[in-house]
Amino acid sequence: MTAITIGQVKEPPVPEPVEPDDATIIKDGYDPRLANADLAPLKHQTWSWYNIFAFWMSDVHSVGGYVTAGSLFALGIASWQVFIALIVGIVIVQALVNLIAKPSQRAGVPFPVTMRFVFGVKGANIPAIIRGIIAVAWYGVQTYLASESLNIIFLKFIPAAQPLATDYSFLGLSALGWISYGILWVAQACVFWTGMDTIRKFIDWAGPLVYAVMFILAIYLVARAGGLGAIDLNLSSGRPMGFMESIPVMITAIALVVSYFSGPMLNFGDFSRYGKTYGAVKRGNFWGLPVNFLVFSLLTVVCASATVPVFGELITDPIKTVERIDTPFAILLGGLTFVVATVGINIVANFVSPAFDFSHVNPRKISWRTGGMIAAVGSVIITPWNWYSNDQAIHYTLDLLGSLIGPLFGILVAGYFVVSHQRIAVDDMFTMDPRGRYWYRNGFNPNAVLAIVLAGVPSIVCAVLPSPLKQMGVINVTWLSNFSWFIGAGLGFLFFALLEAKRPQMVPLAADDPSVNDGAAIKD
When the pLDDT of each residue in the chain is averaged and rounded to a whole number, the result is 84
Q: What is the pLDDT of residue 238?
A: 60
Q: Between residues 510 and 258, which one has the greater pLDDT?
A: 258
**Cα separation of 362 and 401, whole Å?**
25
Helix segments in 383-514, DSSP class H: 391-413, 446-464, 466-471, 484-502
Please say if the pLDDT value at position 15 is more than 80: no
Contacts of 60 (CB under 8 A, 6+ apart): 207, 288, 289, 292, 293, 296
**Cα separation of 148 and 441, whole Å?**
49
Q: What is the DSSP letter of 74?
A: G
- Looking from the CA of 244 toward its CB, the CA atoms found within 13 Å total 0
Please say if the pLDDT value at position 21 is more than 90: no
Mean pLDDT of 82-101: 93
Contacts of 203 (CB under 8 A, 6+ apart): 51, 54, 55, 57, 58, 344, 347, 348
pTM score? 0.86
Domain borders along the chain are 49-391
**Cα separation of 329 and 431, whole Å?**
57
Render pLDDT for 187-227 as a digit per residue (tens, 0 to 9). 888 888 888 888 888 888 887 888 888 888 888 889 988 88
What are residue 42's phi and psi, to 5 degrees? -75, 145
Choosing among 3.90.1110.10, 3.40.605.10, 1.10.4160.10, 1.10.357.10, the CATH entry for 49-391 is: 1.10.4160.10
Sign, CA dihedral 375-376-377-379, equals positive
Mean pLDDT of 414-435: 94
Q: What is the pLDDT of residue 1?
A: 39
**Cα separation of 73 and 308, whole Å?**
15
Please count the residues of the chain. Answer: 524
Confidence of residue 402 (pLDDT cuts 50, 70, 90): low
**Taking a C-beta distance cutoff of 8 angstroms, is the pair 254, 85 a contact?**
yes
Q: Between residues 260 and 271, which one has the greater pLDDT?
A: 271
**To the nearest 10°, the Cα dihedral for 125, 127, 130, 136?**
-80
Confidence of residue 298 (pLDDT cuts 50, 70, 90): confident
% of the chain exceeding 70 in pLDDT = 89
Contacts of 172 (CB under 8 A, 6+ apart): 383, 385, 386
